[in-house]
C-alpha cells in the first residue's frame, strides 16, 4: 500500500529517538512510506526541532511527513503504530513507588489519548521502562482498544541472547532460531535457550555446558543493560532502537514459518503466567496479530526462573493497582 503508515514515537528527542527515527524513516518497517508523529514534553520540543531538521536533511524517500508536539491527543491522531519510548528515568533518591507513579501519570494519559484518537488498527509497542508495567497501565486505560494491541519490548533481550549464543558456539546469528525471553524486561528475565536451535540442532545440546548457561549466559543477557551503562556512560540506545524496529516490523509483517520472537504480551494463562499480566513469551505473528507458541516442555529449572520473573510482574501490578493507576 502507498498510503503512509502513521507512526507515533514518544520521547522522540531522547537517546533512543535519535537512532530510532532515522531507522524508521530509512525503511526499517518495510518499503511503505511513513509519516512520523513525534511526542515530547514541552521543554524538549526545541531539541526535537533540531532532530527534525536532520530528518529533513536526509531527504528520506519514504518519509512523507513529520509532525511534532506535546499534546498526545493531537500527535496520536489516526496513528497505526505507536512506539512509546519516552518515560521518566529513576532520579536520585527516587523510590520505586515514585518511579511507578511518575510513569503511571505518563502512561495513563497516553493510554487514554490513544483510546480517543488512534486509528482502529493501532498497534502499541512500549519501550520505556518499566516497560511491562507501563504497557499494562496504558492497556488498562485504553478501554476500547483490544488488549492484544499492546506489547512491551523484550526484543533487545532476545537479540542479546542470540548474539551471546552465536559468540559461544561460533555460529552465525542467521543460523539461530527459536530463542525465548520469558517474564519481565528486568534483571529477573529468563533467557531460555532450551528450545532454541542452531542450524536445526538443539542449542542446549550444541552448547552442552549447563554451568555456562547458568553462570554466564543468563546473567550476561539479563545484566547487559547495566554493563553497557558501565562501559558507555549512557544506557543502550542504538541497540534498543534497533530492537524496537525489529519488533514492530515482525508484528506488522509476520514471523518466518520456522522461527518465533519474544514479545511481552497480555497473558491468557499460558505456561502458568497469570491471566492479564504483560509477560514475555515466545510468539509467532501474522498480519499484525500474535499468538503465544504453545506446547513447549518446561523443565523444572526453567519453571523456577519463569516463576521468579512473573512474581516480580505480579508485584509491580499490585503496586500500580494500589496507586490507583489501573
Catalytic residues: 185
Q: Is 262 in the site for ligand NAI (CB under 6 A)?
A: no
Residues 16-75 that bind ligand NAI (CB under 6 A): 16-17, 39-41, 44
- On the CB side of 115, CA atoms within 13 Å amount to 17
Q: How far apart are alpha carbons 40 and 4 in whole angstroms?
A: 22
What are 251's three cell numbers?
A: 508484528
Q: How far is the CB of 185 from ligand NAI (least distance, A)?
A: 5
Q: How far is the CB of 77 from ligand NAI (least distance, A)?
A: 15
- Considering beta carbons, is residue 160 or 197 the nearer one to ligand NAI? 160
Q: Is 282 in the site for ligand NAI (CB under 6 A)?
A: no
- Considering beta carbons, is residue 5 or 12 the nearer one to ligand NAI? 12
Q: Is 185 in the site for ligand NAI (CB under 6 A)?
A: yes
* One residue of 8, 82, 86, 218 binding ligand NAI per CB under 6 A: 86
C-alpha distances in Å from residue 299, one per residue of 8, 195, 237, 248, 310: 40, 11, 34, 31, 16
- Considering beta carbons, is residue 206 or 263 the nearer one to ligand NAI? 263
108 is in an annotated binding site: no
Question: DSSP assignment of 250-318, as one string?
Answer: HHHH---TT--EEEEEE--SGGGPPTT-EEEEEEEEETTEEEEPP-----HHHHHHHHHHHHHHHHHHH
Q: Is 279 in the site for ligand NAI (CB under 6 A)?
A: no
* One residue of 127, 140, 189, 302 binding ligand NAI per CB under 6 A: 127
Backbone angles phi, psi at 257, to 5 degrees: -60, -30
Q: How far is the CB of 199 from ligand NAI (least distance, A)?
A: 28
90 is in an annotated binding site: yes
**Contact string 146-175 vs ligand NAI (x = CB under 6 A):** -------x--x-------------------
Q: How far is the CB of 257 from ligand NAI (least distance, A)?
A: 26
**Contact string 207-246 vs ligand NAI (x = CB under 6 A):** ----------------------------xxx--x------
124 is in an annotated binding site: no
224 is in an annotated binding site: no
Q: How far is the CB of 198 from ligand NAI (least distance, A)?
A: 24
SS3 content of the chain, % helix, strand, coil (to 5): 50, 20, 35
16 is in an annotated binding site: yes
12 is in an annotated binding site: yes
Backbone angles phi, psi at 196, to 5 degrees: -75, 155
Burial (CB count <10 Å: 0-12, 13-18, 19+), residue 235: middle
Q: How far apart are alpha carbons 323 and 46 in whole angstroms?
A: 33
Size of the site for ligand NAI (CB under 6 A): 28
Q: Beta 34-39 vs 5-10: how paired, if at all?
A: parallel
- Considering beta carbons, is residue 17 or 111 the nearer one to ligand NAI? 17
Q: Is 11 in the site for ligand NAI (CB under 6 A)?
A: yes
C-alpha 96: how far from chain center: 21
DSSP bridge pairs for 67: 37
Q: How far apart are alpha carbons 18 and 313 in whole angstroms?
A: 30
Backbone angles phi, psi at 50, to 5 degrees: -65, -40
Residue list, annotated binding site for substrate: 90, 96, 129, 160
Residues that bind ligand NAI (CB under 6 A): 10-11, 13-17, 39-41, 44, 85-89, 106, 127-129, 131, 153, 156, 185, 235-237, 240
Residue list, annotated binding site for NAD(+): 11-17, 103, 110, 127-129
Amino acid at each position: 500500500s502507498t498510503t503512509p503508515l502513521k507512526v507515533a514515537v514518544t520521547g522522540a528527542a531522547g537517546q533512543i529517538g535519535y537512532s530510532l527515527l532515522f531507522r524508521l524513516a530509512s525503511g526499517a518497517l518495510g518499503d511503505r512510506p511513513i509519516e512520523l508523529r513525534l511526542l515530547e514534553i514541552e521543554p524538549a520540543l526545541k531539541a526535537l526541532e533540531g532532530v527534525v531538521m536532520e530528518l529533513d536533511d536526509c531527504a528520506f524517500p519514504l518519509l512523507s511527513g513529520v509532525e511534532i508536539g506535546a499534546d498526545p491527543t493531537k500527535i496520536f491522531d489516526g496513528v497505526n503504530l505507536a512506539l512509546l519510548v519516552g518515560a521518566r528515568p529513576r532520579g536520585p533518591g527516587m523510590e520505586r513507588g515514585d518511579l511507578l507513579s511518575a510513569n503511571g501519570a505518563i502512561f495513563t494519559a497516553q493510554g487514554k489519548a490513544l483510546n480517543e484518537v488512534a486509528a482502529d488498527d493501532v498497534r502499541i509497542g512500549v519501550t520505556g521502562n518499566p516497560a511491562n508495567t507501563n504497557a499494562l497501565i496504558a492497556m488498562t486505560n485504553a478501554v476500547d482498544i483490544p488488549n492484544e494491541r499492546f506489547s512491551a519490548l523484550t526484543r533487545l533481550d532476545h537479540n542479546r541472547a542470540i548474539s551471546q549464543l552465536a559468540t559461544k558456539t561460533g555460529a552465525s546469528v542467521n543460523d539461530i532460531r527459536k530463542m525465548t525471553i520469558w517474564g519481565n524486561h528486568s534483571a529477573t528475565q529468563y533467557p531460555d535457550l532450551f528450545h532454541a536451535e542452531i542450524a536445526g540442532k538443539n542449542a542446549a545440546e550444541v552448547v552442552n555446558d549447563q554451568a555456562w548457561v547458568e553462570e554466564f549466559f543468563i546473567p550476561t543477557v539479563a545484566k547487559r543493560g547495566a554493563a553497557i551503562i558501565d562501559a558507555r556512560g549512557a544506557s543502550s540506545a542504538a541497540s534498543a532502537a534497533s530492537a524496537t524496529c525489529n519488533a514492530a516490523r515482525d508484528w506488522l509483517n509476520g514471523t518466518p514459518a520456522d522461527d518465533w520472537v519474544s514479545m511481552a504480551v497480555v497473558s491468557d494463562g499460558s505456561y502458568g503466567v497469570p491471566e492479564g499480566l504483560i509477560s514475555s513469551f515466545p510468539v509467532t505473528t501474522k498480519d499484525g496479530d500474535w499468538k503465544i507458541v504453545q506446547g513447549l516442555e518446561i523443565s523444572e529449572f526453567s519453571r523456577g526462573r519463569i516463576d521468579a520473573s512473573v512474581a516480580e510482574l505480579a508485584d509491580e501490578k499490585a503496586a500500580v493497582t494500589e496507586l490507583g493507576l489501573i
